[in-house]
């Protein structure tokens, strides 16, 4: 998910007499968040002379604003996988990560390739013409477009629900952009499809459903942390996104398009 703000932060031995502290980790235009109480903070730590660094204490909860700046990135990743709100606040508010777009494209490519492979594998005809058609790239591009449209419908469903339920929050441009980045970043669970691409795609329906549940859980936590709303609204937002995504899938199926969905593939393999 990303590196911590200052991994391996040095522990200071105390304040240096007669030396003023300078907040090197903040600027006037940048606001951080306390990972415990979600209150805004102007800095994460203070840098004193002689390399003495001290983590800032939150004025609201009297706890360190961000303890994860001392943690190794692997520990942060593990906490994010466990869907801890503190880890999500650290990643979303207190770090500068600009891989949202690249991560989204990469996940869509993995999903499109898996669907494309399942679509071709479900066709048992081995005629030369079919082998030539199998080698065409058009089916892969179509799977990529369908996967992108389904994800877009999912996001639109989430934003539409939040727009109706939380108009004052959802209509803010800053919140909209931050939530979009949070949703893209929290969809990293789709990277678990990579083993399916590498190791002959030997995934059972249960594994694919577990990956889906993990991604939805991460999205749920990202919505709750980003907008600071309760679990009920976050759950309903994810449910609204799933509903619109399902409508999109139903539309594709009614148009008799091969969407490469798991259910269709496994049904064809069982028949």
Q: For the purposes of burial, counting CB atoms within 10 Å of the CB of 82, is it exposed (0-12), middle (13-18) or buried (19 or more)? A: exposed
**Same domain for 77 and 108?**
no
The number of distinct structural domains making up the chain is: 2
Domain termination residue (choose one: 43, 75, 92): 92
Both 65 and 105 in a single domain? no
Report the predicted TM-score, pTM, of the whole model to 2 decimal places.
Answer: 0.77
Please indicate, yes or no, whether residues 218 and 167 belong to a single structural domain of this protein.
yes
Q: Are residues 208 and 252 in the same domain?
A: yes
As a whole number of angstroms, the distance between CA 150 and CA 257 comes to 13
199 and 220, same domain (yes or no): yes
**Listed residues 71, 92, 113: the one ending a domain:** 92
Domain identity same for 138 and 233:
yes
Whether 53 and 169 share a structural domain: no
For residue 157, what pLDDT is reported?
95
Among the listed residues 60, 69, 75, 59, the one whose alpha carbon sits nearest the alpha carbon of residue 93: 69
Mean pLDDT for each 10-residue chunk of the chain (271 residues)? Answer: 48 37 42 87 80 83 88 91 91 87 90 80 54 64 90 95 80 82 92 76 73 94 91 94 92 69 41 40
- Give the structural domain span for 69: 32-92
Same domain, 51 and 116: no
- Specify if 81 maps to a domain: yes
In-domain check, residue 146: yes
Statement to judge: residues 61 and 165 lie in one domain? no
Q: Is residue 267 part of a domain?
A: no
Q: Are residue 86 and residue 192 in the same domain, yes or no?
A: no
| pLDDT value, residue 17 | 37
In terms of domains, do 65 and 147 share one? no
Residues 105 and 229 in one domain: yes
Q: Is residue 4 part of a domain?
A: no
| DSSP notation for 212-265 | HHHHHHHHHHHHHHHHT--HHHHHHHHHHHHHHHHHHHHHHHHTT-----HHHH
């Amino acid at each position: 998910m990303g590196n911590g703000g200052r991994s391996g932060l040095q522990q200071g031995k105390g304040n240096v007499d007669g030396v003023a502290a300078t907040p090197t980790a903040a600027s006037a235009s940048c606001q951080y968040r306390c990972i415990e109480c979600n209150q805004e903070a102007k800095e994460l730590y203070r840098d004193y002379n002689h390399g003495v660094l001290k983590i800032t204490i939150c004025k609201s909860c009297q706890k360190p604003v961000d303890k994860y700046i001392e943690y190794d990135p692997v520990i942060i990743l593990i906490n994010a996988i466990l869907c801890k709100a503190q880890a999500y606040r650290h990643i979303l508010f207190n770090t500068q990560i600009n891989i949202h777009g690249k991560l989204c494209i990469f996940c869509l490519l993995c999903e499109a390739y898996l669907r494309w492979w399942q679509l071709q594998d479900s066709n048992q005809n081995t005629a030369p013409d079919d082998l030539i058609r199998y080698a065409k790239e058009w089916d892969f591009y179509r799977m990529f477009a369908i996967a992108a449209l389904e994800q877009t419908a999912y996001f639109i469903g989430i934003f539409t629900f939040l727009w109706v339920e939380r108009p004052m929050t959802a209509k803010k441009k800053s919140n909209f952009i931050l939530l979009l980045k949070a949703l893209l970043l929290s969809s990293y669970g789709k990277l678990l499809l990579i083993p399916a691409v590498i190791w002959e795609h030997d995934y059972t329906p249960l594994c694919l459903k577990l990956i889906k549940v993990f991604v939805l859980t991460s999205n749920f936590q990202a919505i709750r942390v980003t907008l600071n709303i309760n679990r009920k609204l976050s759950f309903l937002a994810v449910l609204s996104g799933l509903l619109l995504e399902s409508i999109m899938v139903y539309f594709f199926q009614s148009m008799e398009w091969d969407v490469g969905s798991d259910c269709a593939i496994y049904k064809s393999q069982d028949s």
